[in-house]
Structure 1
């Protein structure tokens, strides 16, 4: 009633009298609703009618803090503190200002002082816990939030923060002990069962995790988070059909998400239902076109099915989103090799090296394609770079030998061939496969025979 009266007054420019309690209710309502301009007007009018009210002054401080007028807030707090030196709200607001200025240790001391004056300790503990979190002091934060939960077992925000602290401390066994004690007291709390399941999942105790998630969704049949975690756990247990069923329940309960479509697709892929997997991957990228993982999963499936044209199309989609991913460029190169697009394959391998992916397979792949294209000097330079990283790799030594022979540098060819034979004699088959002319060379054949006899 007082709210309607106040808003009527604003429309008519009339001035009505409100008692102190009415003003406080009006201001708090506007602050909670995020209507700070109206709260500001109410505070101004309230202080005109009740200039001595400390509670209204404190609400004025709250508005100053919200508007980042921290100096004004601090000055007004000094005045209030002189009037009421034991007012807990003064120290809470001081702590809020210190926190906004990044002085979290100071904020903690102020909140501790507020605790000595307040009867409502839970709200102060909650603020204190957050200050500890700002300092990454997870132990004290956890102990503080536990106090909040002890007073109100349905303070799920504090419960989440307790578990978050256990997570950050990597104290998962301790979290399980705490949550089991909690559900003994509050057994119908789906949030607690959900968090308990998460802890078991992290420790790879999947059957216990599944049991906890089952309780969560039994308590609340519309608990989307419970179904998601249950589905993920079923995947870990290899129960892909049941996992799909639980993922699909989340689609019935809420709007579709690319994540769920992706997970369903991967479950179908593991069940070898490739057509269904592709269907769900396409739904995922339709839902989120910037989901590069979705494009890659499509790429991989079409590659497995030897549909290299479509694989090439989808890998290009992934690369447009994340062009600095060497794994994508490696796949790009492999696909183009299958399509006999050798120049594109070279580009793919070179991009990998530019992105510091200097694995042996990349060097070898690039060198072999360059050799096939007749770019023997470029292939040679690639292998020389590779040998600096992989000093005793037979794969490199045999290729260097073959290239030196092709470039009519026979001495270097024999030097590298001998080095290669010492590393792995049997691997000389690569010379036959890649450089048959060199392999059939009589001098090379004699060296292979002589070397084999010497080994015997």
Structure 2
């Protein structure tokens, strides 16, 4: 239900209504005023105030169908679906051609996951509504709930035909195209839309993003330029243009575009991070690190910022500084697996093996089951003399990588070191069957085992 009261009138009604509540002096409001007051409270999430206004409204206008429909809306919001259903049945008997009755019934069915039935009722609402765009949008959402992206796309297109300035419908159409990976079709549709709306910055922006996904960076750049011509304050277009310029290795121009966004609005950590990356690629390390520092200052929770600083120092082999920033990052978010992986890698480089083992263990606990993590941890545990823990770690790795030769060769090596020759032979044979070439693992990590004549004899069998 849409109401087109002037904003001043709305504000006046709300002010008068709230002053009445404070004074306990009951004043008369017509039903339209009550509707706008209730809408104001619902839009601002003030449900208790909306309920009070509905109650007062119905005491002054007991036969108002629209006020009762707002009552239904609140009931649905509070999951009192049966009561809402009963009230809708009564209202349907009074006004069978009121589209809002069908919309609210559809809303109830949607909450019960009965999306097909909800769409049937919304199609009935279409017969009676003056706002087809709104109803088509609701139908589109029902199809999205069912992951039916084709029908959702068609519904949102009908919504946009009815109201060509409904940008949320345009975004939903592109969302469907993207999900279906129909980038060329999306561009074709957007170009048709732009024929009618040539200065729609949102459509140009979306065209650019489609070309970006297709790696056609020159066309993407042209589209973002048109978006900026249509709206020179469109921050999203400058950010996307910056990303394209980076892909084209035009780093100075990319920096210019990111800087425009900093002037148009408060600095964003994304723009600061990208400026830092551009400076690093231009070889200007001082300005790169300066912008990475600004990034984490602006948004300490942005892991990409901390990772950029850490990786910068890792590339420079400045492991002490890399560790300093990784520790800072972990102190802010100790559940971030990317931080722990770097913590382990850096400590390993610094020969701080116990700390490195802790880092790999923490990464595994947080769900990072990459092969490299298991292997690195087992190598460190063995180096620390904890061969039982290394074996246990490798058997856990086998659950995720049952046919990996590197894991099997390590198991063989440890068993031979422990003089458990039967188990050693079992695992070396399994490893050689999986991948003969990887016997180099034994040579590099277990040279004493590799030089045993009984091991050399087994390896020679598989040449």
Name the TM tier (shorter chain).
0.7 to 0.9
- Structure 2 match to 1:336: 347
- 2:87 is matched with 76
Aligned to 1:273: 284
Larger Rg: 1
Task: Say if 1:322 and 1:173 are closer, same or farther in 2 by CA, change over 3 A.
Answer: farther
CA displacement, residues 26-76 of structure 1 (integer Å, 9 cap, x when unaligned): 444544455544544443333333333323322332333334433332222
Q: How does 1:23-422 map to 2 (within 5 A)?
A: 23-32=34-43, 34-319=45-330, 321=333, 325=337, 331-348=342-359, 359=371, 363=375, 367=379, 375=385
- The answer to whether the 8 A contact 1:30-1:39 is kept is yes
- 1:367-404 CA deviation, whole Å, 9 max, x = no partner? 48955x7x4967996999799978877x969x959x96
Give the direction of change, closer, same or farther, for the CA distance of 1:56–1:173 in structure 2 (3 Å limit): same
Aligned residue for 1:167, secondary structure, equals helix
Contact 1:292/1:322 (<8 A) preserved: no
Q: What TM-score, normalized to structure 2?
A: 0.77
**Alpha carbons 1:92, 1:114 under 8 Å: kept:** yes
For 1:291 and 1:183, how far apart are their aligned partners in 2?
36
Give RMSD over aligned pairs: 4.3
Structure-2 change in CA distance of 1:15 and 1:176 (3 Å): same
Tell me the TM-score normalized by structure 1: 0.78
**Matches of 2:36 and 2:102 in 1, distance apart?**
22
Q: Deviations over 1:142-198 (max 9, x none)?
A: 111111211221111111111111112221111110001111110101000011111
The change in CA–CA distance for 1:237 and 1:302 in structure 2 (over 3 A counts) is: same
After superposition, what is the alpha-carbon deviation per residue over 1:334-367, rounded to whole angstroms, capped at 9, x for unaligned? 4334434344445556667776757479747964
Q: Distance in 2 between matches of 1:369 and 1:261?
A: 40
> Residue 13 of structure 1 aligns with which residue?
24
Q: Is the 8 A contact 2:273 2:305 kept in 1?
A: yes
Contact 1:346 1:369 in 2 (8 A): yes
What is the rounded CA distance, in whole Å, between the counterparts of 1:13 and 1:334 in structure 2? 69
Task: Measure the CA separation in 1 of the matches of 2:171 and 2:358.
Answer: 49
For residues 362 and 242 of structure 1, what CA distance do their matches in structure 2 show? 43
* Structure 1 stretches lacking a partner, 5+ long: none
Segments of structure 2 that go 5 or more residues without pairing to the other structure are: 1-8
Q: Give a deviation string over 1:118-152, Cα, whole Å, max 9, x none.
A: 23322211211111111111111111111121122
The count of corresponding residues between Structure 1 and Structure 2 is: 434
Q: Is the 8 A contact 1:352 1:358 kept in 2?
A: no
SS of equivalent to 1:51: coil
Residues 1:362 and 1:58: Cα distance change in structure 2 (over 3 Å): closer
**Conserved in 1, the CA contact under 8 Å of 2:377 and 2:390?**
no
- C-alpha contact (below 8 Å) 1:262/1:284 kept by paired residues: yes
Could you give the per-residue CA deviations for residues 232-253 of structure 1, whole angstroms, max 9, x where no partner exists? 1111111122112211211222
| 8 A Cα contact 1:368 1:379, kept in partner | no
Bigger drift between 43-52 and 196-205 goes to 43-52
Query: Any conservation in 1 of the 2:201–2:231 contact (CA below 8 Å)?
Result: yes
Distance 1:229 1:54, change over 3 A: same
